[in-house]
Amino acid sequence: MKKSILGFLLLNVGAFMDAAGFYFFLSPDNIAAGGINGLALVLNHYLPFLPLGALVLILSLILLTTGFILIGTNFGIKTVYCSIVIPLWIWALEKLYPLQKPVADDLLIQMIFGVIISSIGLAILFNQNASSGGTDIAARILYKYHSLDLGKGLFIIDFFIVVAA
């Protein structure tokens, strides 16, 4: 019982850190560090009437449906939860702390802090046999069906997102 409560708490901490790193440090300067959040930033440029949180949620649901079917239940359930909670955290942060300008004036500082904070959150999720959804799911599908190393698959997918940004 205590282990499952701790696991649930860690899922929420990881999800919040991923959302906070993205919202406070990456999104103000449109830094697309890859992933579903980066893809949402790219699409938001062309679909500015859709809030970032909505784009992240829509993209996540598409990949979640595919991943849940192809990868498995335990990972899938936790990933579904995190994929819903992360955009909700982003929406909450947008409402509670509307940003008028970036937190830091230096683009490199914004990128470093955003990537570090989000990466710590993602590491917590991975440690709990979950993910944030999105490109993590796509990389796991590539690994499962094409034996492409998980890290390489994630790098390739995220590389194309960053180039598109």
Torsion over CA: 92, 62, 165, 157 (sign):
positive
Count of the separate structural domains present in the chain: 1
Low-confidence winner among 1-10, 82-91, 121-130 (lowest mean pLDDT): 121-130
Q: What is the pTM of this model?
A: 0.77
Per residue in 49-82, is it b (16+ CB within 10 Å) or e — as a string? eebbbbbbbebbeebbeebbeebeeebbebbbbb
What confidence score (pLDDT) does residue 33 get? 66
Percent of the chain with pLDDT over 70: 98
Residue numbers of the domain that contains 72: 2-164
List all residues 6 or more positions away from 7 whose beta carbon is below 8 Å from its beta carbon: 128
Torsion over CA: 38, 16, 87, 9 (sign):
positive
Q: What is the pLDDT of residues 128-152, one digit of tens each?
A: 988 888 888 888 788 789 988 777 8
